[in-house]
Amino acid sequence: MAAIEPIPGTSDIWEPEATRWVFLEDTARKTFPLYGYSELRTPIIERTDVFVRGIGGDTEVVQKEMYSFQDRGGRSLTLRPEGTAGVMRAIASLGIGPGDDKRVFYMGPMFRGERPAAGRKRQFHQAGVEAVGKISPVLDAECIAMLCHYLNEIGLSSHRLLVNSRGTREDRQEATQTLRDWFKTRIDQMCEDCRRRLDTNIWRLLDCKVEECREIIDQAPPVMDLLSGESRNFFQQTLECLQASGVNPEIAPHLVRGLDYYQHTVFEVVIDSDNLGAQNAVAGGGRYEIELPGSRKPIPGVGFALGLERLLMALGQDQPTSPSDSIKADIFVAILSKACISSALELCAQLRQRNLRVLCENEVRSMKAQMRTANKCEAKLAIIIGEDEMNENRVTVKHMRESRQETIPRREIVDTAVEALM
């Protein structure tokens, strides 16, 4: 049969890579609750307006990247491109709103129709957090400190933490005009998207990744200088709280992030690594306000999402994996005849109860063939069950590494195996 590859921008994840994913996920489940966050699992599919309203209709994600379709009932549905909007929908459905303090973390696949590249997938995986309800620089700093704590736990050492403020919606009106006037005189040297964004969304322009545009953007007035005293004060307090938590970020004067819901603090963790290329952000987040369909007031929150594929690449574990060619087990249970199958299955169940990995023979084959399988699965013990052994309530144990075997009473085998494998 011709091999059927996964569609471009998606991957099968085999062992041993799957174990590395579990490590990233387990570390999230261990770290985030230390800061009062509990797990929330939202649907992968939502009504399209959850994302259009949540993320903003003028963002790249909504305009170009969403996997949206009509279901049989004529509803427009979308595979989630990120976690925040769905989390806010779930939280708002509980009646939680401004002034409350609800903290959740989540993880799972997200979908964006981007051009696949190293570190840029169409199905990718995030682990994220959202602290919803309160507006406080203490929360922003704690959220960033938690991100650094997580990165430390997984052993990511060389990364840069960039922070900035986008101010509030009110601040942005005046700032927008100043930025527009500044870029107007340079727009001829910028890309087509930037030219369009000059009038439609100047903040998107600051997020352009084209190298020639970046050189110009780097010369622009720092966003901070264009914000109100109140917003600058909020950012200053966030920086002080970060310092008190032992976190020293770099200020990135033009960091605005690509999603429209951000207000005040924005941050990103970037890696200087060849294999990630332009896709060097392993995590991003910030403070936001989201107005959902049906919600009376915008709901504030702060959070971030980590890209698990990029994290694994940054940790230097990006070798493509292929399925390992055999099952791995601690113990192989061999049988000498069909009559021994029930006894073998009973023993396997008892061994697994003691957390041992057990592979049970499933057809009657020569002992030589069965021992070959035991070797292939790297079993340390092979337990052989024959009719004579069954009648005499004993089993034969072969210590594979030491090439010795012994016969012991059936009732002792589970403890003997546990001890031998300790």
Work out whether 124 is an interface residue with ligand HAM (CB under 6 A): yes
Q: Are 169 and 263 spatial neighbours (Cβ–Cβ below 8 Å)?
A: yes
Locus of tokens 């930037």:
194
Work out whether 332 is an interface residue with ligand HAM (CB under 6 A): no
Work out whether 126 is an interface residue with ligand HAM (CB under 6 A): yes
Question: Quick one: tokens of 90?
Answer: 């779930």
State how beta strands 102-111 and 38-39 pair: parallel
Q: Are 142 and 109 spatial neighbours (Cβ–Cβ below 8 Å)?
A: no
Q: Which of 231-239, 300-308, 328-336, 352-360 is the region at the interface with ligand HAM (rule: CB under 6 A)? A: 300-308
Work out whether 304 is an interface residue with ligand HAM (CB under 6 A): yes
Residue type, 324: S
Smallest gap from residue 266 Cβ to ligand HAM (A) = 9
Q: Which of 213-221, 305-313, 330-338, 394-402 is the region at the interface with ligand HAM (rule: CB under 6 A)? A: 305-313
Work out whether 114 is an interface residue with ligand HAM (CB under 6 A): yes
Near ligand HAM in 22-51, by CB under 6 A: none
Nearer to ligand HAM, 103 or 394 (CB): 103
Q: Give the contacts of 24 (CB within 8 A, at least 6 positions apart).
A: 127, 154, 306, 308, 311, 312
Q: DSSP states of 325-341 as a string?
A: SS---SEEEEESSGGGH
Rounded-to-integer distance, Cα 317 and Cα 155, Å: 12
Nearer to ligand HAM, 292 or 374 (CB): 292
Nearer to ligand HAM, 111 or 183 (CB): 111
Q: Which of 81-89, 93-101, 214-222, 367-375 is the region at the interface with ligand HAM (rule: CB under 6 A)? A: 81-89
Strand order in the sheet with 404-409: 358-360, 331-335, 381-385, 394-399, 404-409
Residue, CB closest to ligand HAM: 307
- From residue 148, give the alpha-carbon distance in Å to each of 145, 157, 237, 253, 405: 5, 10, 18, 21, 52
Locus of tokens 């092979």:
382
Nearer to ligand HAM, 37 or 304 (CB): 304
Q: Give the contacts of 243 (CB within 8 A, at least 6 positions apart).
A: none
Q: Which of 111-119, 152-160, 237-245, 328-336 is the region at the interface with ligand HAM (rule: CB under 6 A)? A: 111-119
46, 260, 289, 309: which one binds ligand HAM (CB under 6 A) = 309
Per-residue x/- mask for ligand HAM, residues 240 to 259, rule CB under 6 A? -------------------x
20, 53, 102, 112: which one binds ligand HAM (CB under 6 A) = 112
Nearer to ligand HAM, 54 or 386 (CB): 54
Work out whether 83 is an interface residue with ligand HAM (CB under 6 A): yes
3-class state of residue 161 by DSSP: strand
Question: Quick one: tokens of 323?
Answer: 């399925």
Rounded-to-integer distance, Cα 333 and Cα 363, Å: 12
Smallest gap from residue 112 Cβ to ligand HAM (A) = 5
Rounded-to-integer distance, Cα 283 and Cα 129, Å: 11
Nearer to ligand HAM, 11 or 178 (CB): 11
Smallest gap from residue 306 Cβ to ligand HAM (A) = 6
Nearer to ligand HAM, 270 or 374 (CB): 270
Strand order in the sheet with 45-47: 45-47, 76-79, 67-70
Cis peptide before 16 (omega within 30 of 0): yes
Residues that bind ligand HAM (CB under 6 A): 82-84, 112, 114, 119-121, 124, 126, 128, 130, 259, 281-286, 288, 303-305, 307, 309-310
